Amino acid sequence: MLKESPMTQTMVLIGTRKGLWTATSDDDRQSWTVRGPDLGLNEVAACAIDTRGATPRLFAGASSSHWGPAMSYSDDLGATWTEPDPAPISFPQETEAALARVWQIMPGPADQPDLVWAGTEPSALWRSEDRGVSFRLNQGLWDHPHRKEWEPGGGGQALHTILPHPADSRQMHIAMSTGGVYRTTDDGASWNPANKGIQGSFLPADEFPEYGQCVHKVARHPERPDQLFAQNHGGVYRSDDEGETWVSIADGLPADFGFNMVVHPHAPGTVYVIPLVADVERIPPDARCRVYRSRDAGQIWEELSRGLPEDRFYATVMRDAMCADDAPIPGIYFGTRSGSVFASADEGESWSAIAAHLPDVLCVRAGMVG
């Protein structure tokens, strides 16, 4: 008797300046069905696919330029969305702050299926213990004495990266623009900067400050929690000691500016970036659409281009608009500010466009949902 193959469906959430689209594939990412927009043409800067529960839960942080931010979830793969009441993320009155935008939604570890983290503008970390229905402000970071010196980058003062430690729930790294990388080892009660070796070239007095860097994205592989990779506002770095010190791994890249840093889900030391010429010239080097991959933690970089546009290419990729799925042979995805989404089903070896002519893409997340 033939054994039935397990059902597999891959989903890509595509958050754009004007709404959320979903792309789904039932044939191992060979063909895609794109649907949208959802969430009322609001700006979707953060989204997540949480596959830990019996039913996948999708999250989206959407903002209207008129009506403000909101956070929603869907338990039916985007057919309907629920905005909890009261609002999941709401600054306490004594902070005198108001939520401007959700920048990051990060499901917690598999053994804590109700734990979800969020990062916001203004820079704050939020913890949910009811799978994203309500969040509590991390007071230790909010009260940090450095706060008054964190300055907004071009996109706003954002806490955009959350990296819970895969094995120790008391440890976590977060990253902000600006502010840099911070680390807690006491479950968020206190936070210390972790930027030694990361340049702040836009700072006049000290190019290697303790904090204040404009780190664009940080990533790490769960099997190598001591090893982190960072794409900085000028500079690409690796740390082998949990962020205590960083070394440049930009040699071999055509430029050290960019926004993305994605780790291969099954291969520690394999990372992907998309370089841009410089902070004052935010287009791909030589106007060519290229992804760069290192299989050895940043020592050697290889250009990945098969299937990507050969015409002159001027679009940029935002910090959360690149991701990997969790398939056995993982897919890599990125969306551009020119409204295209490109996918690779073979770890970046070859690419194809799965969506085009969307509003500018702000975030993509992919996962196996069926």
Partner 1 sequence: MAVLVRIPGALRQFTDNARTIEVDVPADSDVAQVLAALGAENPALGRRICDEQGAVRQHVNVFVGTVNVRDGDGLATKVPEGAELYVLPAVSGG
Contacts with partner 1, residue ranges (CB under 8 A): 40, 64-68, 70, 83, 85-87, 90-91, 93, 96-99
56 vs 88 by CB, closer to partner 1: 88
**66 or 148: CB nearest partner 1:** 66
Dist CA 241 CA 247 (whole Å): 11
The count of other CB atoms within 10 Å of the CB of residue 258 is: 28
In this structure, are strands 172-177 and 236-239 parallel, antiparallel, or unpaired? unpaired
Q: How far is the CB of 360 from partner 1 (least distance, A)?
A: 11
Instruction: Give the residue with the Cβ less far from partner 1, 91 or 208.
Output: 91
Q: What's the min distance (Å) between Cβ of 101 and partner 1?
A: 12
3-state class (DSSP) for residue 275: strand
Query: Which of 125, 365, 109 minimizes the C-alpha distance to 117?
Result: 125
Tokens of 149: 């010196």
Smallest distance from the beta carbon of 85 to partner 1, in angstroms? 5
How large is the greatest C-alpha to C-alpha distance in the chain, in angstroms?
73
Q: Which helix (H) or strand (E) holds 46?
A: strand 43-50
58 backbone φψ class: left, alpha, beta (φ>0; ψ -120 to 50): beta
Nearer to partner 1, 83 or 279 (CB): 83
Question: Least Å distance between CB 64 and partner 1?
Answer: 7
Q: How far is the CB of 95 from partner 1 (least distance, A)?
A: 9
- In the complex with partner 1, the residue whose CB is nearer, 155 or 307, is 155
Helices then strands, counting H and E runs in the chain, come out as 1, 29
Least separation, in Å, of the C-beta of 206 and partner 1? Answer: 35
Structural tokens at position 338:
């020119």
Distance CA 93, CA 95 (A): 5
Smaller CB distance to partner 1: residue 68 or 209? 68
Cα torsion 112, 113, 114, 115 to 10°: value is 50
